[in-house]
Homo-oligomer: A and B are copies of this chain.
Amino acid sequence: MLMHNPPHPGEVLKELCIEPLGITVTDAAKGLGVSRKTLSRILNGKAGISPEMAVRLSIAFNTSSESWLNQQSQYDLWQAEKHRNELHVTQLSVA
């Protein structure tokens, strides 16, 4: 089932991982092995979580990469579903 209005994965990352640990964005970026800008863009919802970034997060925060990428998929799908009625698609199967 599709979640209702899922938040930015970056929002979750900030509130559940960065802030609780009391580490700075700068240091978190260093630990993740990415630039500060890259992490900043994610935390502020300007960029999504790539498959590779999901793996980085899973290492740094001892979580599952799947959960991070699934969150991103849910978010992306929610955006795409908004325009469902604008797509010119005809039914091909009735199953």
Contacts and interface: CB of A to CB of B under 8 A. Distances in A.
A43 interface: no
Given A55-B87, A87-B55, A65 B81 contact: yes
Counted per complex, copies of this chain come to: 2
Interface residues of A, number: 44
Given A31-B90, A87-B33, A62 B23 contact: no
B59 A87 contact: yes
Nearest to A65: B77
A60 B91 contact: yes
Interface of A: 1-2, 17, 21, 23, 28, 30-33, 50-52, 54-56, 59-62, 64-66, 69-70, 72-74, 76-77, 79-81, 83-84, 87-95
